[in-house]
Structure 1
Amino acid sequence: MRCEQTPSTDGAGAAKTALRDRVLTTRRRRPLLERQEVARAMAEHLLASPEVRRAATVAAYVSVGSEPGTALLLEALAASGRRVLLPVLLPDGDLDWARHEGDQHLRPATRGLLEPDGERLGPGAVAGADVVLVPGLAVAPDGMRLGRGGGSYDRALARVPVGTFTCVLLHDDEVGLDVPREQHDRPVTAVVSPAGLQHLHPGG
Structure 2
Amino acid sequence: MSDAIADAKRALRADLRERRQTLSPQARQAASTGVRAQLDALVDRLGARSVSCFLSTPTEPDTRAFIDAAVARGIRVLLPITREDGLLDWAVASQEADVTEGLFGMPEPVGELLSPIAINDVDLMIIPAAAVDVHGMRLGWGRGYFDKTIGSIEGCPDVYAVVFDSEILDEVPSDVHDQPVDGVVTPTRTIDLASARR
What is the TM-score with the length of structure 2 in the denominator? Answer: 0.92
Q: Which residue of 1 aligns with 2:76?
A: 83
Instruction: Map Cα deviations across residues 26-80 of structure 1 (whole Å, 9 max, x no partner).
Output: 0000011111111110110121125666111110010013111111111111111
Any stretches of 5+ residues in structure 1 without a counterpart?
1-7
Q: In structure 1, what is the Cα distance between the partners aligned to 2:40 and 2:75? A: 11
- Look up the match of 2:163: 170
Hey, what does 2:24 align to over in structure 1?
31
Correspondence for 1:131 among 124, 148, 153 = 124
Q: CA RMSD in A?
A: 1.8
Provide the residue aligned with 1:4 in structure 2.
none
Q: For the residues of structure 2 that align with 1:180 and 1:103, how far apart are their CA atoms?
A: 39
Aligned residue runs from structure 1 range 181-200, under 5 A: 181-200=174-193
Is residue 159–residue 182 contact of structure 2 (8 Å, CA) maintained in 1? yes
Alpha-carbon shift at residue 124 of structure 1 (Å) = 1.5
**Structure 2 unaligned blocks of 5 or more:** none
Superposed, 1:43-192 pairs within 5 Å as 43-49=36-42, 54-162=47-155, 164-192=157-185
Amino acid in structure 2 at the alignment position of 1:82? I
Q: 2:33: which partner in 1?
A: 40
TM-score under structure 1 length normalisation:
0.89
> Per the alignment, do residues 75 and 180 of structure 1 end up closer, same or farther by CA in structure 2, a change over 3 Å counting?
same
